[in-house]
Amino acid sequence: MRSLPKISVIVPSFNKVKYIEATLQSIADQKYPNLEVIVQDGGSTDGTVEIIKKYAAKYPRIIGWESKKDKGQVDAINNGLKKATGAILAYINADDVYKKGALIKVGEYFANHPKTLWLAGRGDMIDSKGKKISPLVTKYKNYLLTINHYPSLLIVNYLMQPSVFLSSKAYKKYGPFTGTKTAVMEYDLWLKLGRVQMPAILKSNLSSFRISEGSISSSSFKKTLKEDEEIVEKYTDNPVLLLLHYLHNIGRVVAIFLLNNQ
């Protein structure tokens, strides 16, 4: 087997004391032999930094960290990626988790397919207690992942963000991530990359995306959907695709309403 390429994982965090230990433990449990973890904390005051220090002391060869005021999540991610030295790059939010063995599968794929620009795997969604939720949404996204067609990606962002991995050459050419102080518009980068090469697909479940209390307020979600539509308009003027994207977003609003009222 080829030697496994170095993977750099960025962990943006701010006041995530309730979840960040699970995130860091899920990374440590990967036991990936060529790993770099960069935690970019925005100046947490709730005990998050103490947990980061504990893990950095326990795994000094792989975990580096910094805690200082920043301009928000996207700023933390891009600052971390500037420091990254891996051939494969990824970020995982400080409340999401990797599945066991995920990074080995990713590293092996890139080792065996060195021309791959980016890769996406399956994922699921969990609540604040780690229980799987929204199984129909998960099945729908994973089904679209098997199709992996650019027009489909223009209609709906079916990629589970923590299950996406970029080659460093792809990020350097097409990055950085864009967004606002409160949200990362990774969809913009996915569409930019997708025009060049659709992601390679791993049929394995690589991560769990957490939807916790207070993470999906109606006002912020509507703003995100508006920004989402503006992103798609940058990459297509096809009226059918734009209409289907808009209709799909209406479905997302209904799904979030039902989720918030369970």
203 phi and psi angles, rounded to 5 deg: -80, 5
Cα dihedral sign, 16-29-171-215: negative
What is the pTM for the complete model shown? 0.93
Per residue in 62-73, pLDDT (tens digit) is: 999 999 999 999
Amino acid letter, residue 144: L
Residue 1's pLDDT is 47
Residue 225's pLDDT is 79
Per residue in 6-27, pLDDT (tens digit) is: 999 999 999 999 999 999 999 9
CATH superfamily to which 7-214 belongs: Spore Coat Polysaccharide Biosynthesis Protein SpsA; Chain A (3.90.550.10)
Scored b (16 or more CB within 10 A) or e, 155-185 reads bbbbbbbbbbbbbbebbeebbebbbeeebbb
Report domain extents, the chain: 7-214
The alpha-carbon radius of gyration of the chain (Å, integer) is 18
